[in-house]
Homo-oligomer: A and B are copies of this chain.
Amino acid sequence: MENKQKPLSKNQKIILEYIQKNKKPVKAYSILSNVQKKGINAPPQVYRALDKLIEIGKIHKVESQNSFVACKTSDCETPHATAFSICDSCDEVSEINDPKLFKYLLDFKDNSGIKFDGYNLEFFGTCKSCETS
């Protein structure tokens, strides 16, 4: 079982570090303005790094928010099978890492019989701290 991890490029590293520093998902232009001091000047530089980081599973995109969050699963083996819970009132997002759910969904077949190679699932609700306030 070899682990051929290509090293990240300079921009990829800068942007991944910034995303990892944040608990909450961050937006592309917010990333941009926060890494400008590191020499990243324009949107394409950010989006290119984001695309790559998503591809290799280091981050995920929260589609309903157009935001990006670091993968919490140490070694995200199936980068394109993601599940999140999202609080309707505070927008807090957490990644769900539930092997049963994971398996259930990857085994799921629709009625046309095709098997899927990935999914994105976003649950909505009210988080504990918002509920009590």
Contacts and interface: CB of A to CB of B under 8 A. Distances in A.
A127 to B, nearest CB: 6
A89 B116 CA distance: 13
Contact of A116 (B85, B105, B108, B112): B85
Interface in A103-129: 104-105, 108, 110-128
- Report how many copies the assembly holds: 2
Given A63-B63, A104-B104, A122-B63, A127 B98 contact: no
A120 B121 contact: yes
Interface residues of A, number: 32
20 contacts: A63-B64, A63-B122, A80-B124, A94-B112, A98-B111, A101-B108, A105-B121, A108-B123, A112-B127, A112-B128, A114-B128, A115-B125, A117-B126, A118-B123, A118-B124, A119-B121, A119-B123, A119-B124, A120-B121, A121-B122
